[in-house]
Amino acid sequence: MDKLIIGCGYLGRRIASRWCREGHHVFATTRTGQHANELRQLGLEPVICDVLNPDTLATLPAVQTVVHCVGLDRRSGQTMRAVYVQGLANVLARLPTTNRFLYISSTSVYGQRAGELVDETAVTEPSEESGRIVLEAEELARKQWPGAIILRFAGIYGPGRLLRQEAVQAGEPIVAEPERWLNLIHVDDGATAVLAAESRSQPGAIYNVSDDHPIPRREFYAALASILGAPAPRFAPPDPCGPLPPHERANRRISNELMRRELGVNLQYPSFREGLRASV
């Protein structure tokens, strides 16, 4: 079957690789010819387009499944709202009919601050501007494509992407409250969840995609430092006279129970401990 990934980056390439191994024909979007060559080398068929240039989206192919996982390239000079909301609107206006449309969202849509355990029924009142933008994009996807499947990802990590690795290796202080919670998902488990949602979810469903064990920051960074052979991490409180950093405004524990129960996802890396050892 034909598949399309819109935004074939860190997560998208893992999804594409799984589909290729299963024998599917996989299209992947990119904004540049250079990246198109990279995609061809991975066995993908590139579609050169820009979600912010509607005219270029006329070449989007008709496929059975679409995964929309466009992230913000800060080098592009575009705003997050433009990419996430207007870009998605442009795609939905020009996308041929498909059986499955999966939108990769974020647990930043939750704004809980007291360490609550949060499932998909929790209120979505984001405390961060980025979370409000992501929630606006979710609502747009559901309005324009009522059967869209929403996957709210925790922080994605894996080889080549470890949270604050350079700062930890350098022994720099981490400006953060060490007892607040981190919610993470290894990129390979994230790809597994996407494929499970494609085959098993009901149209219009929402799932949290996170591992089994939210972890206090202190414990995570201590383990990362140990694996890297770096000094034990030091924490510094945010400047009390300045604005609160976005990552300090929320504090929640994400429940993945619905993902495990309805999608049957068995995580290869159920906690950061297994995932870190496989990522360094």
Q: What pTM value is reported for the model?
A: 0.96
Residues 6 or more apart whose CB falls under 8 angstroms from that of 265 comprise 189, 192, 193, 196, 256, 259
User: Per the structure block, which two tokens stand in for 215?
Assistant: 């972890």
Long-range contacts of 223-229 (CB under 8 A, 24+ apart): 223/272, 223/273, 223/276, 224/162, 224/163, 224/164, 224/165, 224/168, 224/276, 225/168, 227/276, 227/277, 227/280, 228/165, 228/168, 228/169, 228/280
Domain assignment of residue 106, yes or no: yes
Contact between 141 and 106 (Cβ < 8 Å) = no
How far is the C-alpha of 225 from the C-alpha of 169, rounded, in Å? 7
Per the structure, the count of domains in the chain is 1
Domain assignment of residue 55, yes or no: yes
DSSP letters spanning 112-136: --S-EEE-TTS----SSHHHHHHHH
pLDDT at residue number 34: 84
How far is the C-alpha of 215 from the C-alpha of 182, rounded, in Å? 5
Q: Which domain holds residue 263?
A: 2-158+185-214+252-269
Domain assignment of residue 275, yes or no: no
**Kind and range of the H or E run holding 243:** none
Amino acid at 121: T
**Kind and range of the H or E run holding 234:** none
CATH number at residue 36: 3.40.50.720
Domain assignment of residue 274, yes or no: no
Query: Rg (Cα) of the chain, in Å, rounded?
Result: 19
How far is the C-alpha of 141 from the C-alpha of 135, rounded, in Å? 10
DSSP letters spanning 71-123: ---GGG---HHIIIIIHHHHHHHHPPP-SEEEEEEEGGG----S-EEE-TTS-
How many other CB atoms are found less than 10 A from the CB of residue 217? 20
How far is the C-alpha of 275 from the C-alpha of 280, rounded, in Å? 9
Domain assignment of residue 94, yes or no: yes
Domain assignment of residue 171, yes or no: no
pLDDT at residue number 250: 85
Domain assignment of residue 95, yes or no: yes
Per residue in 232-253, pLDDT (tens digit) is: 999 998 877 767 766 777 899 9
For residue 229, is it left (φ>0), alpha (ψ between -120 and 50) or beta? Answer: left
pLDDT in tens, the chain (280 residues): 999 999 999 999 999 999 999 999 999 999 988 899 999 999 999 999 999 999 999 999 999 999 999 998 877 789 999 999 999 999 999 999 999 999 999 999 999 999 999 999 999 999 899 999 999 999 999 999 999 999 999 999 999 999 999 999 999 999 999 999 999 999 999 999 999 999 999 999 999 999 999 999 999 999 999 999 999 999 998 877 767 766 777 899 999 999 999 999 999 999 999 999 999 8
The number of residues making up the chain comes to 280
Domain assignment of residue 243, yes or no: no
User: Per the structure block, which two tokens stand in for 95?
Assistant: 């996308």
